[in-house]
Each structure stands twice: as structure tokens, then as C-alpha cells.
């Protein structure tokens, strides 16, 4: 790794190699001897998912101090350090362990996969009559041919929690489909026919969460009727720029991925009500988030809580902002000012501080809305503190 010291070294500066032991593995790092302990922690953040303030580096039995240089701490070329992580102070889907590269099984593991019972004629006829095909938790390895035989009569296909590895192009033959549930299967990037999926122009709900996807196609933008998109618990690193074309999109759930940036074009998704980007690798949000003035009920981390009703633009509904477990150090400057219904804010596991929040325009108005919400909770005998901290209002 010589000469690969990132922002803390270059070709003219000597480098040294150190090895950091963490969670059953040894992480090699190359950097300048003049680098500080804080610099080393910053290099370790994307490799461990642990935020710098959650890292404790130990060398020769002593805890190293951020402001001191490695040289003055007697760390030399070939030194071995130990990293300990504070609970909760991580980003993404948790600290990267020795086993982190193994595929996550989101369903109950069976000793033997049972074959689904044969689809009888009466069931096929019922599918065509109702337009609803419910095959979740049916131990399926492939989508049955009887499904394709239903053709345009299908409105809903629920085939989640199976063992599917392939979504063939024939999915496009279900041309009237409105809701497609494919979550909790074993689908890889090259095993899903996005051409077939994106040909479903009536689709309003698409769920591909809990699979092994690393990318979403630009053709996703052609699903202009889409109102809900669920892609959580995959290995996505980004969202397509074409998401801006989904102007009817109300719910976007993309938590527990590896997303490091959000395209500024998301500001064109003016119908968004719920967005979940928690537990990713975000260090900043685009300023266009301030355009999402209609985010009302659950913003950036979905908490199941029923609202009494939803009419018009839903201006009376509570707006909640959860950015937990990301590497965020700031927020878009227009967020408090433009998102005028925001009343709940959760910043657990980020680098954002109270001093920073107070500098934003609109902070005082937000704080007043937050206090009023807490007072209403108290009126209904729901205990809650009125004091705000960086991780406040976690419901």
C-alpha cells in the first residue's frame, strides 16, 4: 500500500504501514508518520463503519488521543493497534466484521427447502377472477408457469419470502400489474429482468428489499405511476439520477444499504411523504432536500404509527426526520426553513451537534413545533422530555 495514504500522504512524503485489529480481522493502513490519531480514525471509518467519535485506538496498552501524532505516540512502521468500537456509534448496516461479506439471510433457514404444492385449477381461476396472486412463504425457487398464464388479469403479485433467484422477462406479460412484492428472496443484479419490470407502466408499488442488489437501473425512471419503492437491505451504493422522473413517488425506503450519496435530482420528487435512508454511508445530503416541502409523516426513517387521516396535502400530519447511523456532519441549510412541518428530529449515530443546528435558519420555528408536539404528548399522558439533544425525539 506504499504511497496510498489517502489525503494524509503523497509521493514526496514518507509513509508507514500499520495494522489495526478489529472484530477478528487485521486492517492494513498506509499513512504519514506525521498524521494524527484523528487522521487514522478518519481512514478507518469507511473500512469499519464506525464513526471516529466511536473509535478507541489502543497501542501498547494505552488509549491514543486524537490530537497527538502517530510519531509522538511511538507508532512506527509495522505497528499493530487495536480498535474498540462504542455501541451505537456506527454508520451503514453496523460495524464491518469478519463475516460481513457473507450474504444475509433474512428468512428462517430451513434444513430442507420444500417444494410448493401444485397450483390447482380452481386456484388459477381464483387468481384470474380477483387479480391477486398470493404466494409469499411458499418455498418457491422459481415463479410458477401458472402465474404467467394469468396475463393481464393480474393486479397484485405477492411472492416475497421465497427462494427466488430469477425474475424473468416474462414478468412484463403481467401488463396490468399495480403491485409487485419480491422482497426477501435471493435475487442478484443479473438475475432480474429490469426491462420486464420497467415495462409495467401501471405499477404503483415495487418492493425488492432484502435481496442482493448492488444497483438500480436508470430505466426505473420510466415507472412514472410508482408511488412506493422499497429497496432496503440490499447492497446499493447509490440511487439513479432518473429518480427525479418519479414525481408521483410518495414512499422511498432505502435503509441498510451502502449508499454514500443521494442525487440532487431527488428534489424533483415533490410528492414524497416518507423517505428512509437510515443506516447507510451518507456524509451529506444534497441541498435540494429543501425542495421536499411535503414530507409530512415519516421522513428518513419509518416508524409505524397510524395517523387519523390523510387529506389533500396532509399539512396537519406530523413530520419526522430520522438520519440515524450515517456519517453525516451537517444538514442542508434550507431544511428547517423549507420543510415547515418538521417537528421530530433524530440524529443518533451522526456527527451533527446542537451548536451546528442552532445556526440554521428556521431552527427556532422547528424547535417551537417540536415543543408543541411534546406538550400534546404530555397532555395525553405520553411521557417525553422537552429538552432537545442531537439524538432527540426517538419514538
pLDDT at residue 312, rounded to an integer:
29
End-to-end CA distance of the chain: 45
d(CA 320, CA 188): 33
pLDDT at residue 90, rounded to an integer:
62
Mean pLDDT by 10 residues, the chain (395 residues): 40 74 88 89 85 87 89 90 77 58 42 47 85 93 94 95 94 96 95 96 96 95 95 94 92 91 87 84 82 50 35 34 79 75 73 82 79 72 47 40
Give long-range contacts, CB 8 A cutoff, 24+ apart: 298-302: 298/273, 298/274, 298/322, 299/274, 299/275, 299/339, 299/342, 300/275, 300/276, 301/255, 301/276, 301/277, 301/346, 302/253, 302/274, 302/276
Residues in the chain: 395
Is 327 exposed, middle or buried, given 0-12, 13-18 or 19+ CB atoms closer than 10 A?
buried
Q: Which CATH architecture does the domain made up of 6-85 adopt?
A: Roll (3.10)
The β-bridge relationship of strands 62-63 and 55-59 is antiparallel
pLDDT at residue 121, rounded to an integer:
58
pLDDT at residue 303, rounded to an integer:
34
124 phi, psi to nearest 5 deg = -60, -40
Query: C-alpha grid cell for residue 308?
Result: 387519523
d(CA 63, CA 55): 10
Question: What string of DSSP letters covers 174-241?
Answer: -TT--EEE--SS--BGGGB-HHHHTT-TT--EEE--SSB-----GGGGG-TT--EEE--SS------G
374 phi, psi to nearest 5 deg = -65, -35
pLDDT at residue 350, rounded to an integer:
80
Question: What string of DSSP letters covers 274-307?
Answer: EEE--SS--S---GGGGG-TT--SEEES------
Q: 91, 279 in Cβ contact below 8 A?
A: yes
Alpha helices, H only, the chain: 37-48, 121-130, 145-150, 194-197, 335-338, 354-357, 363-379
Nearest residue to 162 (alpha-carbon basis) of 181, 175, 176, 190: 181
d(CA 264, CA 269): 10
Nearest residue to 172 (alpha-carbon basis) of 242, 247, 223: 223
Residue extents of the structural domains in the chain: 6-85, 263-395
pLDDT at residue 127, rounded to an integer:
92
Say which residues have a Cβ less than 8 Å from residue 333's Cβ, sequence separation at least 6.
Answer: 287, 290, 360, 361
d(CA 240, CA 260): 13
d(CA 200, CA 184): 21
Amino acid at each position: 500500500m506504499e504511497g496510498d495514504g489517502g489525503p494524509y500522504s503523497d509521493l514526496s512524503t514518507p509513509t508507514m504501514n500499520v495494522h489495526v485489529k478489529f472484530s477478528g480481522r487485521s486492517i492494513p493502513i498506509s499513512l504519514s508518520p506525521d498524521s494524527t490519531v484523528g487522521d487514522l480514525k478518519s481512514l478507518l471509518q469507511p473500512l469499519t463503519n464506525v464513526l471516529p467519535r466511536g473509535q478507541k485506538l489502543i497501542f501498547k496498552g494505552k488509549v491514543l488521543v486524537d490530537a497527538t501524532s502517530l510519531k509522538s505516540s511511538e507508532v512506527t512502521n509495522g505497528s499493530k493497534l487495536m480498535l474498540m468500537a462504542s455501541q451505537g456509534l456506527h454508520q451503514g448496516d453496523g460495524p464491518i466484521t469478519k463475516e460481513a461479506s457473507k450474504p444475509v439471510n433474512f428468512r428462517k433457514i430451513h434444513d430442507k427447502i420444500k417444494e410448493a404444492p401444485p397450483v390447482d385449477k380452481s386456484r388459477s381461476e381464483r387468481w384470474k377472477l380477483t387479480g391477486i396472486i398470493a404466494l409469499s412463504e411458499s418455498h418457491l425457487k422459481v415463479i410458477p408457469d401458472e402465474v404467467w398464464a394469468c396475463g393481464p388479469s393480474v393486479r397484485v403479485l405477492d411472492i416475497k419470502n421465497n427462494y427466488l433467484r430469477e425474475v424473468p422477462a416474462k414478468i412484463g406479460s403481467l401488463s396490468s400489474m399495480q403491485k409487485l412484492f419480491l422482497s426477501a428472496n435471493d435475487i442478484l443484479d443479473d438475475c432480474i429482468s429490469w426491462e420486464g419490470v420497467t415495462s409495467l407502466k401501471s405499477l404503483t408499488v415495487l418492493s425488492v428489499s432484502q435481496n442482493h442488489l448492488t444497483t438500480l437501473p436508470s430505466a426505473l425512471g420510466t415507472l412514472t405511476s410508482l408511488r412506493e419503492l422499497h429497496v432496503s437491505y440490499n447492497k446499493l451504493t447509490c440511487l439513479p439520477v432518473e429518480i427525479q422522473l418519479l414525481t408521483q413517488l410518495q414512499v422511498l425506503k432505502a435503509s441498510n444499504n451502502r449508499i454514500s450519496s443521494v442525487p440532487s435530482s431527488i428534489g424533483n420528487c415533490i410528492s414524497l411523504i416518507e423517505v428512509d435512508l437510515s443506516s447507510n454511508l451518507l456524509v451529506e445530503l444534497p441541498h435540494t432536500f429543501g425542495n421536499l416541502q411535503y414530507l409530512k409523516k415519516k421522513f428518513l426513517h419509518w416508524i409505524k404509527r397510524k395517523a387519523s387521516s390523510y387529506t389533500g396535502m396532509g399539512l396537519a400530519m406530523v413530520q419526522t426526520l430520522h438520519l440515524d447511523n450515517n456519517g453525516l456532519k451537517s444538514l442542508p441549510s434550507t431544511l428547517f426553513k423549507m420543510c415547515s412541518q418538521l417537528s421530530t428530529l433524530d440524529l443518533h449515530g451522526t456527527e451533527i451537534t446542537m451548536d451546528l443546528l442552532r445556526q440554521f435558519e428556521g431552527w427556532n420555528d422547528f424547535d417551537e413545533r417540536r415543543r408543541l408536539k411534546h406538550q400534546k404528548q404530555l397532555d395525553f399522558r405520553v411521557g417525553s422530555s422537552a429538552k432537545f439533544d442531537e439524538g432527540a425525539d426517538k419514538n
